[in-house]
Structure 1
Amino acid sequence: MAALPIGLTYWDVGRLVAIVCLPLLLSCCYVTTVLVCLSVIYVAFFLYRKSTIKRIPISGQGVLITGCDTGFGHEFAKRLDSLGFTVFAGCLSEQSDGAKNLKTSKTGRLHVLGLNITKDDEVLKAVTYVTKVHEKSGCGLWALVNNAGLNMLGDIELCTMEMFYKISEVNMYGMVRVTKAFLPLIRKSKGRILNTTSVKGRLCLPKNAAYGITKFGGEAFSDVLRLEMLKFGVRVIVIEPGNYGGATGMLNEQSLKAIKRDFNAMAEKVSAEVQEVYNAKQYLEDLYKAVCGSSNSTYPGLKPVVDAMEDAVVSTHLNIDILLMEATPSMMYIALLHD
């Protein structure tokens, strides 16, 4: 979106003005009526535009998605397969339950790849595989979806440097590594790159420094990439989900065990002074209990994000800046970056 000299977008300023003025406006019944009418008109216009969005002809174009073992990537791979795309589903392990589930597809268009995005050799192996499939079937690579990611919680003083490095290697540098490897194929098709970041790439929250750094980095990387790819006709789209941890698998039993291991490591490695100031063991135990119960407050399904991903891949209307806020517990933001 267009930015003001102070660093705010016009959208940000509009929201601030609305927040300040809304109580005054609502005190007048006539103004309230007008606002309600305008809201109805806006919703009607939005639904109309949504229903008339043109879609690209789907004829087996290739789409590579990372992080398909669980969550958004897994569901999106199945969605695109059902639509007729040739899907390359990158999974951390080909033996994971998610990978085995994807292999049951009967279309012949869904390819499951072992893909650890922190490993150069595995990324290059994936490029070779996609290229061979293209040479055989002519599917091309229409879109790259950087979806794989890790979650991590903890105060800055408690997180170890190894934890900062680990999550950055996946969430940020993994995105860069995969993008650089597949850009030649995307440039040839004048296709699209979808980068999944987070609402936490726009706002800062306590105990989220390690995670937030990577998501802010993903936002910056995407915007620079957008500017550099304009001359090649390549579009860059950012998907910013909110509170979906309970539905994505980031709060499942396996993930909670990983969080518990991280917390134990924090408690063992902090200095005596930090241990005393935070009462670290009890502090982290209380935080872990809060995390275990947080899945109940997350958005119950993945459909809103998967729908947004589908729109970003198939819509022909990516020359208009769109910023949507869903007024649900998910608080999902979707930003389609444009020229």
Structure 2
Amino acid sequence: MDQSARKFVITYTLTLMCIAIIITIFEVTLIWQVFITLTCLSTVIITTPTKKLPVKDKAVLITGCDRGIGHVLAKQLDRKGFYVFAGCLKNRGQGSKDLVDGSSSRLQTLQLDVSKLTQVKSALHTVEQQLHSKGIQLWGIVNNAGICYIGNVEIMTEEDIQKIMTINYTGPVNICKHFLPLLRRSRGRLVNVASNAGLAPIPLMGAYCASKSALVTISEVWRYELKMWGIKVATIIPSGYKTGIMSYDMIATGNRWWNKASPIVKKDYGQECFYIKFKQKNRDFFLSAEFSDICYKIEDALLSSKPKSRYYSGFLAEFIPFIYIYLPVWLSDYLLSVLANWFEFNPKMQNY
């Protein structure tokens, strides 16, 4: 019994138990008994796992496989029986080597920086050749590659702001622009890994939020546009995973930003603001290095006969967007100031 079937059995059993308890304890009229029963069972039916499609002769392209979610997903789909094209930023790096050493011959790594059109075109050429030689089709694309820098737009350089947008948003556009003809022929799946930061504002992550918001929006547009070709599109909203996306050299980055900042920005903020620190000293405690849930959901988006349009996975993935979108501003502002206030940031000028 797979994970989805187990969840269904548990949910169904608990639902029946709750119905029995409610009806037994409380004096519920027949009409209300029928209403409660139908409501609970309809909820179970909605969450019932759908039929999975066969994996045979299906290939998938995944970007950002050097580490994190993409790395684990590539290995998981290889074990599942997919032919996997694993795009890596450094195809001769340790991440790529680990994939090759720990996977079957169905997995092939590719040199793929999604911000560089020459590499996207080269990857397309390789994939087309491999598909033709093996007599298979490209069934899925998983746009997973992404980067993040912490800082506001005044202290960050224009180059780094543009880099975030290019990799997180333009990169998936580049991939889709070149690979969608292959998906049209298979009537396959497009999966875009966004973030809860694309659905709600996180202070000092403005450029990242904007890039992921753009990806969420274009993903929804593609979902409508590609229906005519039989292509199903899903957006993944993760949060709280230890992917390494914030493991860049913050000191070197801060030095670079400080050296290029204007005199007025240096005066108003002070040099300390260019070296962002997390308020939580043990922040890794709140991050999960276990990617099984999100990889399972990406797999479901690829193989379910009726995939969801959006999948949430991880700590606060759905909660923070809910607070921002649905609660009154006075309440959401307060809650987000607590839940999304992650960094130490004290500009000099505010003390004047």
Query: 8 Å contact 1:70–1:249 — kept in the other structure?
Result: yes
1:261 equivalent in alignment to 2:258:
no
Query: 8 Å contact 2:297–2:311 — kept in the other structure?
Result: no
1:103 counterpart SS class: helix
Cα–Cα, structure 1 residues 288 and 268, in superposed 2: closer, same or farther, change >3 Å?
farther
In the alignment, the residues of structure 1 paired with residue 103 and residue 200 of structure 2 have an alpha-carbon distance, to the nearest angstrom, of 42
1:283 equivalent in alignment to 2:273:
yes
Cα–Cα, structure 1 residues 282 and 223, in superposed 2: closer, same or farther, change >3 Å?
same
1:248 equivalent in alignment to 2:243:
yes
Cα–Cα, structure 1 residues 82 and 256, in superposed 2: closer, same or farther, change >3 Å?
same
- Kindly provide the CA deviation profile for residues 16-50 of structure 1, in whole angstroms up to 9, marking residues without a partner as x: xxxxxxxxxxxxxx8xxx9xxx8xx869955x765
In the alignment, the residues of structure 2 paired with residue 230 and residue 216 of structure 1 have an alpha-carbon distance, to the nearest angstrom, of 22
Unaligned runs of 5+ in 1: 1-29
1:241 counterpart SS class: strand
Structure 1 runs (4+) deviating above 6 angstroms are none
1:316 equivalent in alignment to 2:308:
no
TM-score w.r.t. length of structure 2: 0.75
- Kindly provide the CA deviation profile for residues 233-281 of structure 1, in whole angstroms up to 9, marking residues without a partner as x: 111110111121xx21224xxx231x332222222222222222222x1
In the alignment, the residues of structure 1 paired with residue 224 and residue 278 of structure 2 have an alpha-carbon distance, to the nearest angstrom, of 43
Tell me which of 78, 91, 102 is aligned to 1:94: 91
- Using the TM superposition, give the Cα deviation of residue 300 of structure 1 relative to its aligned residue in structure 2, in angstroms: 3.8
In the alignment, the residues of structure 1 paired with residue 218 and residue 212 of structure 2 have an alpha-carbon distance, to the nearest angstrom, of 10
In the alignment, the residues of structure 2 paired with residue 104 and residue 43 of structure 1 have an alpha-carbon distance, to the nearest angstrom, of 47
Give percent identity, aligned residues only: 31
Structure-to-structure mapping, 1:78-227, within 5 angstroms: 78-227=75-224
Which residue does the alignment assign to 1:5? Answer: none
In the alignment, the residues of structure 2 paired with residue 223 and residue 99 of structure 1 have an alpha-carbon distance, to the nearest angstrom, of 31
- Kindly provide the CA deviation profile for residues 115-148 of structure 1, in whole angstroms up to 9, marking residues without a partner as x: 1111112111111111111111122000001100
Matching residue's letter, 1:56:
L
- Using the TM superposition, give the Cα deviation of residue 293 of structure 1 relative to its aligned residue in structure 2, in angstroms: 4.4
1:331 equivalent in alignment to 2:319:
no
TM-score w.r.t. length of structure 1: 0.77
Of the two, which has the highest radius of gyration? 2
- Kindly provide the CA deviation profile for residues 57-89 of structure 1, in whole angstroms up to 9, marking residues without a partner as x: 110300000000001100000010000000000
Matching residue's letter, 1:185:
L
Cα–Cα, structure 1 residues 249 and 302, in superposed 2: closer, same or farther, change >3 Å?
same
Cα–Cα, structure 1 residues 262 and 299, in superposed 2: closer, same or farther, change >3 Å?
same
In the alignment, the residues of structure 2 paired with residue 65 and residue 300 of structure 1 have an alpha-carbon distance, to the nearest angstrom, of 19
Equivalent residues, number: 287
Tell me which of 230, 255, 259 is aligned to 2:227: 230
Query: 8 Å contact 1:260–1:288 — kept in the other structure?
Result: no
Query: 8 Å contact 2:235–2:309 — kept in the other structure?
Result: no
